[in-house]
């Protein structure tokens, strides 16, 4: 297991972990409960770790693209309508913000 990214806060770490897992990379967040001690403890506590060392290089590329906003630019034009509540969702999102339904599979 290797650390991939030091997050500023737990929400950032979990957003990155979720993105990596949506791309097939198994990741975990460590240190999220220690961030309340910042000031007394080192500031680099909350980290995203890659479980399988063999996935690290791929995860690193995915992370760089994610942080540069590539996914948002690539999928922004692919808006979709939620099958459950009818809400219009921007293309970069995988779940409905209104009712939490998942985006339908393409096809």
Number of folded domains in the chain? Answer: 2
Q: Model confidence over 5-45: pLDDT tens digits?
A: 999 888 899 989 988 998 899 999 998 866 555 555 555 67
On whether residue 73 sits in a domain, the answer given is: no
CA 88/CA 81 separation, integer angstroms: 5
On whether residue 61 sits in a domain, the answer given is: yes
My answer on whether 99 and 60 are in the same domain is: no
CA 47/CA 44 separation, integer angstroms: 7
Q: What is the mean pLDDT of residues 85-94?
A: 88
Q: Which domain holds residue 97?
A: 78-107
15-19 contact pairs (CB < 8 A, 24+) = 16/48, 16/63, 16/66, 17/48, 19/62, 19/66, 19/71
Mean of pLDDT over the chain: 85
Task: Give the per-residue pLDDT at 90.
Answer: 86
My answer on whether 51 and 15 are in the same domain is: yes
């Amino acid at each position: 297991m290797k650390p991939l990214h030091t997050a500023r806060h737990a929400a950032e770490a979990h957003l990155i972990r979720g993105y990596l897992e949506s791309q097939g990379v198994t990741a975990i967040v460590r240190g999220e409960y220690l961030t309340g001690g910042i000031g007394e403890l080192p500031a680099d506590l909350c980290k995203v770790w890659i479980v399988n060392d063999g996935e690290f290089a791929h995860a690193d590329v995915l992370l760089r693209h994610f942080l540069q906003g590539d996914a948002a630019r690539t999928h922004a034009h692919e808006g979709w309508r939620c099958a459950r509540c009818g809400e219009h969702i921007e293309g970069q999102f995988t779940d409905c913000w209104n009712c939490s339904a998942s985006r339908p599979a393409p096809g």
